[in-house]
Each structure stands twice: as structure tokens, then as C-alpha cells.
């Protein structure tokens, strides 16, 4: 019987460049045990071309693979595109000769509306809802955690009498305060309407949980004004933290309101000009500047923005002080699950216009998840910074199977065109209703019963395996959580929990309990919904390990297969900029190494294949060798980078196989290991020889394969050894 293939996703930016170097090595090794690794293109450019009928829709195909018992996918981090990124990608593809239309921001006719609708499927978190047909198991491999404790990275101390804090809305108009939730008793169509006018109809299934809620824009603006005034009074930096990539409807709108509130006088003064130029505050300062470029009032408008920063407003946090890029540059520049860990890591500080680290107020409007970040900062203000060398580990079991939306789905999120009543109606009548104002952001989210049942199973299973406490992060004061708790209490009875330490706490209490445990050097499992999964599995790994990219991210698929995710790509754009400028790629592929090991382990165990199990054991040894010998890429040009890290993985893997228990593999890889060892100096010299000069890979969103491969495989000696396996 032939073994199933592993699908390796072709994606974007730094991990995509790394793949040109790593995948030939991976395939050379895995094919000796009967496993082929094949690429499928789900990059932003691939999705754009598929939407326009210019390429195969590989994402939809993978949506079928995750429903197969032997489905096996290694998913690298991909771009969750903003409108700005989408437009840049389209422009690049047009420049490469693809006949595709521009993205119409403001459709003027039905044809443009249709084009916008096609492109809409490429925006935001388009990939994850399709592939995540299982719940999430995220944890640090033991070797990774041990390495981090032995080689602790720098966490900066919080100052005495620290002024940093997180501000969020509290019971006064946010999504948390307005939420209503019901569990459906049968399959049915559910209609969402505003003042009796249908907004959309969705097909729901029995026992699923549906939530409705809205953000009051008047309350949001009042909150934003207060935080700006408080920041000025408290002399702290003001910063906004949202996630416009995932929450592609709601969060850009909130971003736009924050932009206009902060610069209220400028937007009022130039309202007519901005209207004439179709300036959209949701797109940020970079888009505004592009639209006023060459206008008679360009200099005056820029001067007015600068005047606010120099006089009326508190100091504003910067994305890039050297370039003068503020948090208002673009809605996708600051992503909360990556940006808030930096606030904690830096001792409650961010950077001002001069590049100085300054204490801040981090503004996270919706309290639903802001309570976690508020407690993380408050915990460090009270107890001091964490000790990387001694702190324990947070593991996470996340509810995300079958989309498990929780945060609101894009097709059921609306910026209300008029004031009135939003109703949610099922087969037997009205399920819930909301009194809203024009401009409010209303959304509905859904969580399937089968996903919750599997989530509980996975949580109990991991708790018993790990032998550590597990906490369900659920709040009896939140409508959604009340419905989820009913199901948890029901399904947990199906499992043997004797001797297990499993509890339920609201977000603030769960954060405090988790922090108290890890500060003593012990480990804990956080069992959370989808959004908290996103936030926790960046926050804690960045503090513990220095990066979330080194976490094991396993999705045991409901159908029986596996999805193996390889960490965060938030820093990937900066890595690409450096590579294009000087040929040095500092992306660390450890996440891919770990995911590959888990993927191979799954196939070997499921098919009881001894050779594949031997290959996996050797890869585990290689990963340990990679860590123990500190072979991660250097940040500096002229020192070993990502390409060299792949060489060392191959060397350690070949050595482990040569010394392993499988005679056939040992015989095959003994000469490979010897060649890699004997030629180490020559190979590293060949890899470094190409650094220090600009690289042309033919495109940012869609590189030319031949150019990118040449740039990422510059060692003829290494290539010859690998290609001969």
C-alpha cells in the first residue's frame, strides 16, 4: 500500500522564499521512506488568479482534502490581505502580464460590484476557515522549551510605578455588552434583517450556537476621545491594537473611526476635499497620502496632521520611527496578537517619533478579549517581568473546527446603513433582536456542536497526557460562553476525568491563574475559543520562546487526518525586504521542521510503517541538534541565514539516519552524512558568497520560480549532494 502524500502549502513572503531552499531537501529525505511532499498554491497571488479564473482554485481543493481520513497538510503562514495588500498584489500581477481587473473600492456599476465580490474572497482570513476542519493543539516542543530556558532571550523590566495599561470599553456599548446567544434545536434557515429588510439568509444546523451582537459607534467614539484625553493627562504614548486582517469588516471600520477621532479637526477642516478624493479613513494614512498626492492642498493637509502630533494630541505610537510611520499608517500594520506581546516584552513600552521607548496606553476597544491583554500588562506592573529561564509553559486547546467563528463571520457582519431594529429570525419565529443606530457594526457568529464536542475530547485527552492543570476560559457573564458552558458540562461527562485538574474561569481570573502557575515554573493548559486561541498562542510563546513561530501547531482533523501549521508570519515582510536588499533571509524554518516531524509521525503511526517511523525519529534528533547547536539564522548579512539553517538540518538528519536502527536507511545516508560533513566549510562559503547584494526574484507576491530558486539554492555543492539522494 502506498503512503499518502503530504501537501506543503505554497504561500507568501519569507516562508515562501524559504520553501525554495527547504522543500528539495525535505523531498530528498522523505521519498526514501515512500512519502512525496507536493506543493499547492494558496498564496494571495494564487487566490487572486483563481478568483479571476486564471488559475486552479487550490484552496477549494484543499478544503476537500481536510475532509479525508488521510488528509495531511503542512500549512505555512499566509497573507491575510487588507484591501491595500490586495491592490498591490493585483498591480504586480498585471505588471507580470495577467489580464485581471483593478479592485473597485467604490463600485460604480453591476460589473464592478461583481468584480469586487470575486476579490472579496481573497481578503482577510480566507484560508484558515477552509482548512481548519479540526480543533487546535498548540504547545512548545520539549526541546524548544528547554533551549529557550537555557538560552533566555531578553524581556525588558517594567519600570517602578509603571504607568502602562490597557484601555477597553466596559459595559457601555461594545460587542461584549450587547451579545445575545441561542442554541438552535433543529436544522433551519436563519434570516438577518434590518427594519424588516433582509440582510442575508444562512443555513444553520441543529445544536449549533449562534450569537448576535453589535458595536455602538457613538459609544466607541466617546471611548476613543476619553483614552486620548487620558493619555495626554497621564503622559503616556497612545496606541491602537486591532486585527483588521482577520476581522476584515469590523476592525477596519473601528480603525477608521479611531483615525478620524484622533485627527478630528483635520478631517473636519478638509472634509470636502477628502470627499472629492474618495478618501477612506478605514484605509489609513498611507492611502490618504496617495490620494492627496499632487493636490493643491497636499502640503497644507500634511502640515495640519503634523501640527496635531506636535501640539494637541498625546504622543502617538510608531510602526517605524525612522520612516515616520504611525499606528494609523494602515489598518493591517498593527495586528493585536503580534503587537500586544511586544508591549509586554518591552516593559509596557512602545516607540515614539524619536525612536525612544515610552510607556503607553494600549487601546483595545472591545472588552471581550481586551480583558486578557489588560490583565497581562497589569500582572507585570504588579509582579514584574517574567523570567524566561524559569517560567513554565502555556499550552492551548483552541475551539476552531468547522470555522467556530465566535468573533463574527465576514458574510454576517454589517455596517448598518440606518438606525432601527436588527432581527434574527428562525423557523419558529424571532430568535433575538437589537436596537441599533446608523453606522453601528452588527455581526453574527456560529459555533457547531460537533466542534465543541471534539474540543472537549481533545482538552481532556491532552490534560491526561500532560498531567497538568487545564482551565476552560469561559465567562458566565458572556452570553456566548453561557451556551458553550452548557455543552462543556454535557460532553465532559463522556470522558474519564478522575484525577484530572480541570476548572472553568472567566478571562481575567483565568489570566491571573495561568500567570501564577507559569511564574512558579509549572505548565498549564488554556482551553479557549478561537479568538483567545489566537491571542494566547502569540502572547505566551513570544514571552517564553521569543517567537510564536517555534510552537507546535497541530490540528487533528475531525475526519481523521492532520493539519500542521508552522507558526506566525507577522515579521515576514521585514525579512523579505532585507533579503531583496542584501540576499540575507533571517526567517527561521524551525516551525516547518517541527510540523514536518509531526506530519511524518502521524502517517507512520497510522500506517504502522517502520521505515517512516525511523525517518521521523531521525528528524526529531535533527531538530534537537539544530537547537542544541544554535543553528538558527543570524539577523546579520554575511552570517549564516535561512539557507544555512536548512543545510544544517540536512546534515543532522543524515547523521541521525546513518546511525539509526533502519539498516537500509543507514546504508543510504551514511555517504550523504559524510559528504555534508566533509563539505561543510565549502557549502557555507558558497551560501555566504551571494550575500551583500540585491536579489531579484521576479515579484513580491508572485516570485518567478526559477529566479527565486536560484537565489535560495546558491550552493552547487549542497545541491549536488541533495539531488543525488
| In the predicted structure, residue 1 carries a pLDDT above the cut 70 | no
> 3-state DSSP call for residue 680?
helix
> 3-state DSSP call for residue 344?
helix
Residue 273: CB atoms within 10 Å: 17
CA distance 18 to 58: 21
CA distance 558 to 131: 11
Q: What is the pLDDT of residues 165-202, one digit of tens each?
A: 999 999 789 999 999 999 999 999 999 999 999 999 99
Over range 321-338, report the average pLDDT: 91
The reply to whether 447 falls in a domain is: no
Three cell numbers written together for 53? 479564473
**DSSP H or E run through 350:** strand 349-351
The reply to whether 259 falls in a domain is: yes
CA distance 441 to 253: 8
The pLDDT-based confidence of 479 (bands split at 50, 70, 90) is: very high
Cβ-contact 19, 574 below 8 angstroms: no
pLDDT at 551: 86
Cβ-contact 229, 262 below 8 angstroms: no
Q: What is the pLDDT of residues 280-293, one digit of tens each?
A: 999 999 999 999 99
Q: What is the pLDDT of residues 32-66, one digit of tens each?
A: 999 999 999 999 999 999 999 999 999 999 999 99
Torsion angle defined by CA atoms of residues 400, 402, 403 and 405, in that order, rounded to the nearest 10 degrees: -70
DSSP state of 123: S
The pLDDT-based confidence of 125 (bands split at 50, 70, 90) is: confident
Closest CA to 327 of 318, 314, 338: 318
pLDDT at 264: 96
The reply to whether 707 falls in a domain is: no
Sheet with 209-215, strands from edge to edge, namely 180-183, 209-215, 441-447, 413-415
- Give the highest mean pLDDT range of 132-136, 470-474, 563-567: 470-474
CA distance 710 to 717: 14
Residues whose CB falls within 8 Å of the CB of residue 427, separated by 6 or more in sequence, listed in order:
186, 188, 189
Q: Kind of pairing, strands 420-426 and 429-436?
A: antiparallel
pLDDT at 405: 76
Cβ-contact 139, 393 below 8 angstroms: yes
Q: Count CA atoms closer than 13 A to 129's CA, side-chain side.
A: 22
Angle at Cα 448 formed by Cα 494 and Cα 67, nearest 5°? 95
Over range 325-338, report the average pLDDT: 92
Over range 9-34, report the average pLDDT: 96
pLDDT at 665: 97
Over range 618-628, report the average pLDDT: 95
CA distance 190 to 316: 44
Helices (H) and strands (E) in the chain, counts: 28, 24
pLDDT at 4: 85
The reply to whether 336 falls in a domain is: no
Integer angstrom CA distances of residue 249 from 109, 256, 327, 415:
22, 11, 19, 8
Three cell numbers written together for 27? 523531498
Handedness of CA 133, 130, 595, 627 (dihedral sign): negative
Select the more confidently predicted residue: 1 or 329. 329
CA distance 168 to 372: 11
Paired residues of 483 in beta bridges: none
CA distance 71 to 555: 11
| In the predicted structure, residue 221 carries a pLDDT above the cut 70 | yes
Among the ranges given (44-53, 71-80, 560-569), the one the predictor scored with the smallest mean pLDDT: 560-569
pLDDT at 129: 85
pLDDT at 397: 98
Closest CA to 78 of 9, 18, 20: 9
Cβ-contact 73, 9 below 8 angstroms: yes
Q: Count CA atoms closer than 13 A to 500's CA, side-chain side.
A: 20
pLDDT at 569: 55
Q: From start to end of 468-576, where are the E strands?
A: 470-473, 502-505, 524-528, 551-556, 562-565
DSSP state of 244: T
| In the predicted structure, residue 240 carries a pLDDT above the cut 70 | yes
Residues whose CB falls within 8 Å of the CB of residue 161, separated by 6 or more in sequence, listed in order:
none
Cβ-contact 28, 723 below 8 angstroms: yes
Per-residue burial over 517-526, b if 16 or more Cβ lie within 10 Å, else e, is bbbeeebbbb
The reply to whether 115 falls in a domain is: no
Cβ-contact 600, 619 below 8 angstroms: yes
Residues whose CB falls within 8 Å of the CB of residue 610, separated by 6 or more in sequence, listed in order:
604, 662
Q: What is the pLDDT of residues 630-689, one digit of tens each?
A: 999 999 999 999 999 999 999 999 999 999 999 999 999 999 999 999 999 999 999 999
Integer angstrom CA distances of residue 691 from 283, 650, 703, 713, 720:
36, 21, 19, 12, 21
The reply to whether 268 falls in a domain is: yes
Task: Say what the pTM is.
Answer: 0.89
CA distance 12 to 81: 11
The reply to whether 260 falls in a domain is: yes
Angle between helices 610-628 and 590-606 (to 10 degrees): 160
Domains identified in the chain, total number? 1
| In the predicted structure, residue 570 carries a pLDDT above the cut 60 | no
pLDDT at 482: 98
User: First and final CA of the chain: distance in angstroms?
Assistant: 23
pLDDT at 568: 64
Average pLDDT, the chain: 95
Three cell numbers written together for 541? 510563546
Q: 258: domain range?
A: 245-314
76: left (phi over 0), alpha (psi -120 to 50) or beta: beta
The reply to whether 329 falls in a domain is: no
pLDDT at 106: 87
CA distance 538 to 532: 10
Q: What is the pLDDT of residues 581-614, one digit of tens each?
A: 999 999 999 999 999 999 999 999 999 999 999 9
Cβ-contact 264, 271 below 8 angstroms: no
**DSSP H or E run through 326:** strand 325-326
Angle at Cα 720 formed by Cα 714 and Cα 723, nearest 5°? 105
CA distance 81 to 98: 19
Integer angstrom CA distances of residue 186 from 83, 443, 458:
38, 22, 26
Q: What is the pLDDT of residues 609-620, one digit of tens each?
A: 999 999 999 999
Amino acid at each position: 500500500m502506498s503512503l499518502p502524500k503530504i501537501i506543503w502549502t505554497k504561500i507568501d513572503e519569507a516562508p515562501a522564499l524559504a520553501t525554495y531552499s527547504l522543500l528539495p531537501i525535505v523531498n530528498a529525505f522523505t521519498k526514501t521512506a515512500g512519502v512525496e511532499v507536493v506543493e499547492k498554491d494558496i498564496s494571495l497571488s494564487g487566490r487572486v488568479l483563481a478568483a479571476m479564473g486564471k488559475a486552479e482554485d487550490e484552496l477549494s481543493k484543499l478544503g476537500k482534502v481536510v475532509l479525508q481520513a488521510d488528509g495531511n497538510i503542512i500549512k505555512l503562514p499566509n497573507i491575510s490581505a487588507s484591501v491595500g495588500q490586495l491592490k498591490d498584489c493585483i498591480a504586480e500581477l498585471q505588471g507580470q502580464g495577467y489580464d485581471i481587473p483593478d479592485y473597485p473600492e467604490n463600485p460604480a456599476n453591476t460589473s464592478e460590484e461583481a468584480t469586487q465580490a470575486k476579490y472579496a474572497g481573497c481578503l482577510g482570513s480566507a484560508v484558515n476557515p477552509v482548512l481548519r476542519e479540526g480543533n487546535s493543539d498548540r504547545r512548545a516542543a520539549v526541546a524548544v522549551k528547554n533551549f529557550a530556558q537555557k538560552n533566555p532571550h531578553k524581556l525588558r523590566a517594567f519600570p517602578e510605578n509603571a504607568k502602562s495599561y490597557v484601555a477597553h470599553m466596559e459595559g457601555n456599548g461594545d460587542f461584549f455588552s450587547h451579545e445575545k446567544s441561542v442554541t438552535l434545536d433543529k436544522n433551519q434557515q436563519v434570516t438577518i434583517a434590518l427594519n424588516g429588510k433582509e440582510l442575508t439568509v444562512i443555513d444553520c444546523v441543529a445544536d449549533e450556537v449562534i450569537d448576535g451582537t453589535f458595536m455602538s459607534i457613538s459609544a466607541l467614539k466617546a471611548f476613543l476621545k476619553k483614552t486620548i484625553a487620558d493619555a495626554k493627562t497621564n503622559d503616556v504614548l497612545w496606541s491602537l491594537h486591532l486585527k483588521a486582517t482577520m476581522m476584515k469588516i469590523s476592525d477596519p471600520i473601528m480603525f477608521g473611526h479611531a483615525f478620524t477621532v484622533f485627527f478630528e479637526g483635520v478631517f473636519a477642516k478638509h472634509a470636502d476635499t477628502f470627499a472629492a478624493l474618495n478618501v477612506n479613513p478605514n484605509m489609513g494614512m498611507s492611502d490618504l497620502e496617495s490620494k492627496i498626492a499632487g493636490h493643491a492642498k497636499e502640503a497644507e493637509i500634511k502640515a495640519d496632521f503634523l501640527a496635531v502630533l506636535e501640539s494637541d494630541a498625546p504622543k502617538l505610537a510608531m510602526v517605524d520611527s525612522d520612516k515616520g510611520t504611525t499606528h494609523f499608517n494602515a489598518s493591517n500594520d498593527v495586528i493585536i496578537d503580534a503587537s500586544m506581546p511586544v508591549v509586554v516584552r518591552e516593559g509596557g513600552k512602545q516607540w515614539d517619533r524619536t525612536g525612544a521607548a515610552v510607556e503607553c496606553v494600549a487601546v483595545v476597544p472591545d472588552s471581550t478579549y481586551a480583558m486578557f491583554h489588560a490583565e497581562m500588562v497589569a500582572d507585570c506592573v504588579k509582579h514584574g517581568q517574567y523570567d524566561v529561564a524559569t517560567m513554565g509553559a502555556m499550552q492551548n486547546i483552541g475551539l476552531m473546527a468547522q470555522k467556530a467563528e465566535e468573533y463574527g463571520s465576514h458574510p454576517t457582519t454589517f455596517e448598518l446603513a440606518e438606525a432601527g431594529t436588527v432581527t434574527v429570525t428562525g423557523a419558529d419565529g424571532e430568535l433575538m433582536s437589537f436596537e441599533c443606530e446608523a453606522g453601528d457594526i452588527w455581526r453574527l457568529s456560529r459555533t457547531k456542536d460537533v466542534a465543541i464536542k471534539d474540543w472537549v475530547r481533545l482538552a481532556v485527552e491532552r490534560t491526561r497526557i500532560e498531567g497538568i492543570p487545564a482551565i476552560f476560559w469561559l465567562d458566565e457573564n458572556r452570553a456566548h460562553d453561557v451556551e458553550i458552558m452548557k455543552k462543556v458540562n454535557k460532553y465532559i461527562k463522556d470522558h474519564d476525568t478522575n484525577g484530572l485538574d480541570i476548572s472553568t474561569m472567566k478571562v481575567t481570573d483565568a489570566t491571573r491563574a495561568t500567570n501564577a502557575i507559569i511564574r512558579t515554573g509549572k505548565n498549564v493548559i488554556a482551553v479557549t475559543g478561537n479568538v483567545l486561541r489566537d491571542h494566547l498562542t502569540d502572547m505566551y510563546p513570544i514571552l517564553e520562546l521569543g517567537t510564536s513561530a517555534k510552537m507546535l501547531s497541530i490540528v487533528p482533523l475531525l475526519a481523521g487526518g492532520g493539519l500542521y501549521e508552522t507558526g506566525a508570519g507577522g515579521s515576514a515582510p521585514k525579512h523579505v525586504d532585507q533579503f531583496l536588499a542584501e540576499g540575507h533571509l533571517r526567517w527561521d524554518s524551525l516551525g516547518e521542521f517541527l510540523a514536518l516531524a509531526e506530519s511524518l509521525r502521524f502517517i507512520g503511526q497510522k500506517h504502522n510503517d517502520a521505515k517512516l517511523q525511523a525517518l521521523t525519529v531521525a528528524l526529531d534528533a535533527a531538530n534537537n541538534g539544530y537547537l542544541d547547536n544554535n543553528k538558527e539564522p543570524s539577523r546579520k548579512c554575511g552570517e549564516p541565514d535561512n539557507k544555512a539553517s536548512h543545510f544544517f538540518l540536512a546534515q543532522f538528519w543524515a547523521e541521525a539516519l546513518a546511525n539509526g536502527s533502519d539498516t537500509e536507511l543507514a546504508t543510504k545516508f551514511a555517504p550523504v552524512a559524510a559528504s555534508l560533513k566533509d563539505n561543510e566549510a565549502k557549502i557555507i562559503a558558497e551560501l555566504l558568497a551571494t550575500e551583500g547584494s540585491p536579489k531579484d526574484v521576479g515579484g513580491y507576491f508572485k516570485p518567478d520560480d526559477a529566479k527565486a530558486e536560484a537565489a535560495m539554492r546558491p550552493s552547487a555543492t549542497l545541491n549536488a549532494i541533495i539531488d543525488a539522494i
